């Protein structure tokens, strides 16, 4: 991220709420600390949401610029990071809508999602793991936006149901319904991949 120095505004850990108060009082270092705390996670959410590293980077930068300009309007009804995530996701949506294709996100093979191989695994295991990751990534990116975002927030980023519903501004029942449907679709894609792998193994062994 290109924002800020990443140094804490004070010598001890300060809550986000206290930092927001300092920012509203004109303390730019406090905002830089908020950036340091949340930039990586926001970028990760937007990367999974868009499937495109450059789009995620630019949306993250713009989200912090918008947050800086709007910080005095933050009323504390939700946590700062859920407010920030809403700004970031809305920015990613706006950018997608301006692209040719009307908001279509990148497919897994078009995006630049980082793949980290398990160095302890052998070459065959690494290849299988990489292939399964691609299946998962494609299944997630192929989800409709209304299903993809609940899955990213809850299952990938580890937000609580309460936090994720705040980000999406959804009732808990609606959120859980979308999350359940998203999980089912992804599971079906993985099951098809695994069933295909078993069929290939049997045919090679016969």
- Mean pLDDT over 39-44 rounds to 94
Look at 126 and 29; give whichever has higher pLDDT: 29
User: What confidence score (pLDDT) does residue 100 get?
Assistant: 62
Full set of structural domains in the chain with CATH:
1-114 (1.10.1740.10), 116-206 (1.10.10.10)
Q: What is the pLDDT of residues 134-191, one digit of tens each?
A: 898 889 989 998 999 999 999 988 999 999 999 999 999 999 999 999 999 999 999 9
Q: How far apart are CA 159 and CA 143, in angstroms?
A: 19
Write down the pTM of the prediction. 0.70
CA distance 31 to 63: 13
Q: Is the pLDDT of residue 49 over 50?
A: yes
Opening angle at CA 138, ends 93 and 146, nearest 5? 40
Band of pLDDT at residue 13, cut at 50, 70 and 90: low
Could you report the per-residue pLDDT of 54-112, keeping only the tens digit for each? 999 999 999 999 999 999 889 888 899 999 999 999 999 898 888 765 444 443 333 33
3-state secondary structure of 158: coil
Q: Is 26 helix (H, G, I), strand (E, B) or coil?
A: coil
Phi first, then psi, for residue 181 (nearest 5°) are -65, -40
With 0-12 CB in 10 A as exposed, 13-18 as middle and 19+ as buried, what is 19?
A: buried
Phi and psi torsions of 159, nearest 5°: -70, 150
In this predicted model, which residue has the larger pLDDT, 121 or 113? 121
Between CA 14 and CA 114 the distance in angstroms is 32
User: pLDDT band for position 28 (50/70/90)?
Assistant: very high
């Amino acid at each position: 991220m290109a924002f800020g120095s990443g140094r804490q505004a004070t010598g001890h850990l300060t809550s986000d709420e206290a930092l927001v108060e300092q920012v509203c009082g004109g303390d730019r270092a406090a905002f830089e600390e908020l950036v340091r705390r949340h930039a990586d996670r926001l970028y990760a959410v937007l990367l999974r949401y868009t499937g495109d590293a450059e789009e995620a980077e630019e949306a993250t930068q713009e989200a912090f610029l918008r947050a800086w300009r709007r910080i005095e309007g933050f009323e504390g009804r939700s946590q700062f990071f859920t407010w920030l995530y809403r700004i970031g996701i809305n920015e990613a949506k706006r950018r997608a809508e301006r692209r040719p294709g009307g908001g279509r996100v990148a497919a897994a093979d078009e995006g630049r999602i980082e793949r980290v191989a398990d160095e302890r695994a052998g070459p065959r295991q690494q290849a299988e793991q990489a292939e399964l990751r691609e299946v998962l990534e494609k299944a997630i990116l192929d989800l409709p936006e209304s299903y993809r975002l609940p899955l990213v927030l809850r299952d990938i980023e580890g937000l609580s149901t309460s936090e994720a519903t705040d980000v999406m501004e959804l009732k808990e029942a609606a959120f859980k319904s979308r999350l359940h449907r998203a999980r089912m679709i992804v599971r079906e894609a993985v099951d098809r991949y695994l069933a295909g792998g078993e069929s290939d193994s049997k045919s090679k062994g016969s």
